[in-house]
Amino acid sequence: MCGSGYPGRMTPAEARQAIEAGHADRLILTTWKRTTAIRPAIVGWEGGDVNESVLKPGKCTFMTAAGHCELHGTDSKPLECRVAPCDNSKGGAYGINMNNGVIAAIERAWRTKEGKAVVKMWREAIAGEASQ
Ligand code: SF4
């Protein structure tokens, strides 16, 4: 997940915290199945708006050179990252199957009024940065 895969999925509340902390341009808007959601970006995809199927595995933008998560200990750390078993011997990637119930719950959260409001907030933050 951290170093050689896909950054963890975050809830709308976590994404809102990340945007308010000034990280909008390090997040990405992805669409998968019926869900449009914001999550930490893979390096090189920051600020993007893509169908998740086009993404290739890569390093999370919040992973430091020392292998630490910049969001650790904050209210922005993605729920999927907080519950996933992390295997640092594989560059931080998790090698154990995730609890799909967590992912399903995150997907449902993005299909709510709050989820849509956070997507709008992120789009506005990105548009504001682009016009500066
Ligand atoms: S734990 Fe931190 S560095 Fe790793 S994928 Fe999640 S947000 Fe990125």
Domain count, the chain: 1
For ligand 1, mutation pick of 17, 38, 71 (most atoms within 8 Å of CB): 71
> What pTM did the predictor assign?
0.88
The answer to whether residue 3 sits within a structural domain is: no
The answer to whether residue 114 sits within a structural domain is: yes
User: pLDDT for 22-56, tens place per residue?
Assistant: 999 999 999 988 899 999 999 999 999 999 899 99
The answer to whether residue 59 sits within a structural domain is: yes
Domain containing residue 99: 12-69+81-127
The answer to whether residue 5 sits within a structural domain is: no
Length of the chain: 132
The answer to whether residue 6 sits within a structural domain is: no
The answer to whether residue 62 sits within a structural domain is: yes
Residue 7 near ligand 1, beta carbon < 6 Å: yes
The answer to whether residue 57 sits within a structural domain is: yes
User: pLDDT for 98-110, tens place per residue?
Assistant: 556 888 899 999 9
